[in-house]
């Protein structure tokens, strides 16, 4: 009985509905029946069927009521899929669209300029690129600069900093050397930061501030001294050493307590001297130690290469252009050797 009433009610609704809506509903149902009659038994919607559903959705507001095979969400999704397929096909056409793409070489060169010139802005980089023949806008340069890696090469920046200041810096320091008689000798040296040269060295048993003043005068007597002199806070320097340094137009700079890195060049030379010489021999007295240090410093200046000097030597050892045999000469009493080509 309930089914009969439902059928009668549906018939009444269809009679009262407009003729246009009834025709569209019949058309949609017939189209779905055609799909169901296809082989294989599992119905499949083709491209024409999907286009039909999309068109019906556009012209009929009650289109959802007649759908049996597919859901309304599927029909709504079809136009979006077609939109993506259309623009995918359009994007594959190889033709210039929009602004002309900037060359990759110009982009790489921009990143290089940003990394190598930390204070340059977009206008200056843009001008440099124009001079090199790259026709790009300043706005493009600004966008590229935001994408440039911001990891500056700190060792390179420190090398540039030291290269500009090393001519004006000198350092001095003490180091201890035990002797065969269980006494302690004090080695004193003054080094320049420009070429890592040892400007003066001395050996004593009892260092005092007045004794230190004399090596200072000898080191900077005939050459124009640097502007700054770095030394630590040893009690041996007293008050006389800073006063003597100022009288020679030097600005004394004391390092902080237990901060060896603040006088790194001097500490590095002490480490090299210990590793290459003092750890291999036993000093007998002041005269013996001074003779050993003299030979060691001569080898340090003339033969030993330094990474901080581009694998060069403090005295500017030139590369050999001769093609003769290799000659070996003893240095530091045979602990090391110097090599050169025969003429």
pLDDT number for residue 139: 83
Residues 6+ apart with CB under 8 A from 287: none
| 192 and 266 part of one domain | yes
CB 78 within 8 A of CB 50: yes
Full residue range of the structural domain in which residue 167 is found = 163-302
Burial of 226 (0-12, 13-18, 19+ CB in 10 A): buried
| 126 and 82 part of one domain | no
| 80 and 110 part of one domain | no
193 domain-assigned: yes
Distance in angstroms (rounded) separating the CA atoms of residues 203 and 284: 13
11 domain-assigned: no
191 domain-assigned: yes
Which strands sit side by side in the sheet containing 198-204, from one edge to the other? 198-204, 184-192, 169-178, 228-231, 251-254
| 42 and 144 part of one domain | no
Token duo for residue 144: 């590229």
Decide: pTM greater than 0.75: no
Q: Can you give the pLDDT of all 343 residues of the chain as single tens digits?
A: 555 445 445 555 555 455 666 666 666 665 655 555 555 555 555 666 667 666 666 655 555 555 555 566 666 676 777 778 887 887 776 565 555 566 677 777 777 777 777 677 888 878 877 777 777 788 887 887 777 766 556 556 666 776 778 888 999 999 999 999 889 999 999 998 888 889 999 999 999 999 999 988 888 876 566 889 999 998 889 889 999 999 888 899 999 888 888 888 899 899 989 988 888 889 999 999 999 999 888 888 888 887 777 778 887 777 766 676 777 777 767 777 777 777 6
CB 292 within 8 A of CB 281: yes
| 242 and 203 part of one domain | yes
Report how many domains make up the chain: 3
| 186 and 292 part of one domain | yes
| 79 and 112 part of one domain | no
DSSP notation for 208-252:
-HHHHHHHHHHHTSSS---SEEEE---GGGTTHHHHHHHHTT-EE
| 42 and 70 part of one domain | yes
| 194 and 287 part of one domain | yes
- Domain boundary pick from 266, 281, 302: 302
Q: How far apart are the first and last CA of the chain?
A: 125
| 213 and 141 part of one domain | no
**The domain spanning residue 222 has which CATH number?**
3.30.420.10
| 185 and 286 part of one domain | yes
| 186 and 286 part of one domain | yes
């Amino acid at each position: 009985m309930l089914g009969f009433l439902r059928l009668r009610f549906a018939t009444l609704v269809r009679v009262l509905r407009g003729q246009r809506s009834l025709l569209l509903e019949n058309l949609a149902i017939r189209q779905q029946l055609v799909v169901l009659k296809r082989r294989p038994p599992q119905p499949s919607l083709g491209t024409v069927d999907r286009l039909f559903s999309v068109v019906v959705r556009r012209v009929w507001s009650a289109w959802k009521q007649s759908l049996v095979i597919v859901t309304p969400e599927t029909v709504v999704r079809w136009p979006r899929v077609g939109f993506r397929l259309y623009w995918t096909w359009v994007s594959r056409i190889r033709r210039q669209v929009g602004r002309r793409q900037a060359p990759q070489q110009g982009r790489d060169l921009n990143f290089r300029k940003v990394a190598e010139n930390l204070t340059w802005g977009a206008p200056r980089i843009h001008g440099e690129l124009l001079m090199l023949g790259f026709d790009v806008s300043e706005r493009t340069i600004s966008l590229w600069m935001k994408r440039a890696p911001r990891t500056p090469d700190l060792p390179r920046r420190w090398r540039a900093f030291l290269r500009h200041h090393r001519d004006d810096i000198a350092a001095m320091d003490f180091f201890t050397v035990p002797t065969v008689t269980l006494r302690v000798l004090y080695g004193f040296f003054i080094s320049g930061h420009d070429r890592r040269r040892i400007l003066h060295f001395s050996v004593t048993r009892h260092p005092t501030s007045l004794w230190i003043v004399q090596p200072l005068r000898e080191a900077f007597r005939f050459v124009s001294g640097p502007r700054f002199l770095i030394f630590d806070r040893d009690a041996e320097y007293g008050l006389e050493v800073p006063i003597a340094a100022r009288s020679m137009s030097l600005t004394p700079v004391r390092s902080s307590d237990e901060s060896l890195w603040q006088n790194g060049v001097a500490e590095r030379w002490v480490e090299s001297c210990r590793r290459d010489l003092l750890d291999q021999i036993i000093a007998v007295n002041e005269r013996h130690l001074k003779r050993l240090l003299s030979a060691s410093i001569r080898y340090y200046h003339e033969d030993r290469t330094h990474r901080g000097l581009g694998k060069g030597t403090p005295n500017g050892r030139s590369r050999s252009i001769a093609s003769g045999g290799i000659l070996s000469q003893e240095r530091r009493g045979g602990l090391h050797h110097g090599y050169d080509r025969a003429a």
